[in-house]
Amino acid sequence: MSTTNAEIHTIPPIFDREGFLLRCMGNQALAKKLAVVFAGTLPKEQRDLHSAIETNELDQVRRIAHRVRGTAKNICAVPLAEAAFLVEHAAEQRDVALLYTHLESLKKQVEAILDELASGA
Amino acid sequence: MNTSDSSHANRLNVLIVDDDPIAIEMLDYFLQEAGYNVERAANGKQALEKMRTFSPRIIISDVEMPEMNGIELCQTVRERHSTQYTYFILLTCHSDLKSVLLGLDSGADDYLSKPFHHEELRLRLEGGRRLLMLEGRDMMIFSLAKLAESRDTDTGTHLERIREYSKVLATELMNWPKFECVVDAQFVELIYLTSPLHDIGKVGIPDSVLLKPGKLTSEEFDIMKRHTLIGGETLYASANAYPEAGFIKMALDITLKHHERWDGTGYPFQLRGEQIPLCARIVAIADVYDALTTKRVYKDAYTHEEAARIIYDSRGTHFDPDLVDAFANVEEQMRAIRTRLDDAPPVASPTQPEKKSQETELMSASFTSS
Ligand SMILES: [Fe+2]
């Protein structure tokens, strides 16, 4: 995947720009377009996630987290994908306490990737 | 969708279904680069909506989606029995073996792990393309056979039954030590594919003979017999033009030799015994069984029991004794095919309008059905 040049033990970067560009077959314009789409969808996913939690729709929480995980993997944002996975898993287990813990770290990852994307634009 | 490149002659329609905006953008880009016509949908329901106006040959779908998921979409597509096959690729998460199995079980052809790699996507699509091309070939062959048969008015689903009978008989032989080295899964597939061509030479038989309602005179019968040679000649030319196409060789053997008889009294070459290729010996028995159990303008249909008895009585004369024994082993399957693919009301009782001698009946059956 995106770890072409990285050592196995290194912490994956918030956003693996190089890996992502490779996934886009080196097409800068496509990479940029996708990054913009991605940055545009994340805040809404966050909002939907929170309203689903407020209404206790754990299945909806799981679905949104699952989608965020997929999107994050596609864009080579591994830490975000991992955080989304934990939320997805907690929702699946219907473990609300755990869900809140993981939501917190998901939120941090979302902020981090948005910052990263903004800085590199 | 707009496409940038017009150099691809065969643009296949591909429908991508995913609620992940990045995945869908990427897929769209890669597919258009690879020369496909692309449409998108965000879930299964939207995909079905789209399919009212867009007919995809390939669907690439995510599994987990709101409204209707990828598995349900796949099931719905399969239940529709549309005229052309849709190749279905599921996009699944690496971790999700369960959905892979569920997906394949619901009729998906292949799956691709997310996040997909464009090279892998390309290869999977190639696989789909190959399968769709094969389907195209098979359909062309069957259409050709149907076209040739269309001049004959009362044959109904004869070709559909012939290939089923041939397949059942060949499959039975697969288990016989004697045929172990000859009949394998590919043989079975090929005979299913090519047996409907057995009578394509009928296109060259004049209407006055082919469509004559009553019995043929011996001169007319001689003309009728030529359908084996006419079909054989056509396929012989194809076999020379495409020597690598193995199915043409089998089609040629069947077309030319399905009226030969085990005892050497058939036509056109009076071959005997194993001089007659196995595929032609199989189709011979399938063809006669079908002719006997089918109603014609001048005769009622025999019941299965009657037809089977005639076949048993022709063991070693008309038919290869091994094949008659094989027929005995699969008799119930033959009967089931006859019932399932019936194109006339079932025979109520075994009464025949006029009881001809068995030999006359067999002769007439085997050349009027030819
Ligand atoms: Fe024939």
- Strand-pair partners of B14: B38, B58
- Strand-pair partners of B37: B13
Q: Please tell me if residue B174 touches chain A, with a CB cutoff of 8 Å.
A: no
Taking the centre of ligand 1 as the mean of its atom positions, its distance from the CA of residue B242, in whole angstroms, is 24
Angle ∠(B21,B25,B26) on CA atoms, nearest 5:
120
Q: Please tell me if residue B332 touches chain A, with a CB cutoff of 8 Å.
A: no
Question: Do A71 and A38 contact (CB within 8 A), yes or no?
Answer: yes
Helix boundaries (H) for chain B = 21-33, 44-50, 70-79, 97-105, 118-149, 158-174, 185-194, 207-210, 218-241, 246-257, 278-292, 304-313, 321-329, 331-340, 358-368
Inter-chain contact A37–B25, Cβ cutoff 8 Å?
A: yes
In chain B, whose CA is at the least distance from the CA of A68? B20
Of the candidates B131, B353, B364, B169, which has an alpha carbon nearest to the alpha carbon of residue B279?
B169
Q: Which residue has the higher pLDDT, A35 or B288?
A: B288
Burial B180-214 (b: 16+ CB within 10 A, else e): eeebeeebbebbbbbbbbbbbbbbbbeeebbebee
What's the one-letter identity of residue B76?
T
Q: Please tell me if residue B342 touches chain A, with a CB cutoff of 8 Å.
A: no
Which pLDDT belongs to residue B347? 47
Task: For residue B23, give how far its alpha carbon lies from the nearest alpha carbon of chain A (Å).
Answer: 7
Which pLDDT belongs to residue B95? 62
In chain A, whose CA is at the least distance from the CA of B33? A25
Among B22, B23, B118, the residue with its CB nearest the CB of A25 is B118
**C-alpha span between A77 and A80 (Å, rounded):** 6
Taking the centre of ligand 1 as the mean of its atom positions, its distance from the CA of residue B251, in whole angstroms, is 13
Inter-chain contact A33–B25, Cβ cutoff 8 Å?
A: yes
Q: Please tell me if residue B241 touches chain A, with a CB cutoff of 8 Å.
A: no
Q: What is the pLDDT of residues B71-118, one digit of tens each?
A: 999 999 988 766 678 899 998 875 677 777 888 888 899 888 888 888
- Strand-pair partners of B110: B89
Q: Tell me what percent of the residues of chain B surpass a pLDDT of 70.
A: 86
CA quadruple A25, A30, A31, A33: dihedral, nearest 10 = -170
Of A9-18, A93-102, B216-225, the one with minimum mean pLDDT is A9-18
Q: What DSSP string describes A5-59?
A: SS-TTSPPPSS-HHHHHHHTTT-HHHHHHHHHHHHHHHHHHHHHHHHHHHTT-HH
Compute and round to an integer the Cα radius of gyration of chain A: 15
Backbone angles phi, psi at B94, to 5 degrees: -50, -45
Inter-chain contact A27–B29, Cβ cutoff 8 Å?
A: yes
Task: For residue A100, give how far its alpha carbon lies from the nearest alpha carbon of chain B (Å).
Answer: 23
Query: Looking at the predicted structure, is the pLDDT value of residue B367 above 50?
Result: no
Task: Write out chain A residues lying below 8 Å of B66, CB-based.
Answer: 63
**C-alpha span between A54 and A51 (Å, rounded):** 5
Q: What is the pLDDT of residues A42-59, one digit of tens each?
A: 989 989 998 998 898 888
Tokens in use for A48?
């939907």
Please, what is the angle between helix B304-313 and helix B331-340, to 10°?
A: 140
Inter-chain contact A23–B66, Cβ cutoff 8 Å?
A: no
Which residue, among A33, A71, A80, A88, would best test binding to B if mutated, counting the most B CBs under 10 Å from its CB?
A71
Taking the centre of ligand 1 as the mean of its atom positions, its distance from the CA of residue B141, in whole angstroms, is 17
**C-alpha span between B182 and B185 (Å, rounded):** 10
Q: Which domains does chain B have, with CATH numbers?
A: 3-130 (3.40.50.2300), 150-368 (1.10.3210.10)
The burial class, CB within 10 Å (0-12 / 13-18 / 19+), for B5 is exposed
Question: Do B279 and B240 contact (CB within 8 A), yes or no?
Answer: no
**Pairing mode, if any, of strands B110-114 and B58-62?**
unpaired
Query: Looking at the predicted structure, is the pLDDT value of residue B348 above 60?
Result: no
Tokens in use for A101?
């813990």
Task: Write out chain B residues lying below 8 Å of A74, CB-based.
Answer: 20, 22-23, 26, 114-115
- Going by the DSSP 8-state scheme, the letter that residue B337 receives in this structure is H
Task: Write out chain A residues lying below 8 Å of B20, CB-based.
Answer: 67, 70-71, 74
Among B22, B29, B33, the residue with its CB nearest the CB of A71 is B22
SS3 B50: helix
What's the length of chain A?
Answer: 121
Q: What is the pLDDT of residues B148-198, one digit of tens each?
A: 777 765 567 888 999 999 999 999 999 899 998 888 888 998 899 899 999
Q: Which domains does chain A have, with CATH numbers?
A: 14-118 (1.20.120.160)
Taking the centre of ligand 1 as the mean of its atom positions, its distance from the CA of residue B333, in whole angstroms, is 23
pTM score of the predicted model: 0.58
Question: Do B75 and B55 contact (CB within 8 A), yes or no?
Answer: no
Inter-chain contact A41–B21, Cβ cutoff 8 Å?
A: yes
**pLDDT band (50, 70, 90) for residue A8:** low
Inter-chain contact B115–A73, Cβ cutoff 8 Å?
A: yes
Cβ-based contacts under 8 A for chains A and B: 50
What's the one-letter identity of residue B312?
Y
Taking the centre of ligand 1 as the mean of its atom positions, its distance from the CA of residue B19, in whole angstroms, is 55
Q: What is the pLDDT of residues B265-315, one digit of tens each?
A: 999 999 999 999 999 999 999 999 999 999 877 778 899 999 999 999 999
Query: Looking at the predicted structure, is the pLDDT value of residue A82 above 70?
Result: yes
Backbone angles phi, psi at B113, to 5 degrees: -80, 140
Which pLDDT belongs to residue B5? 41
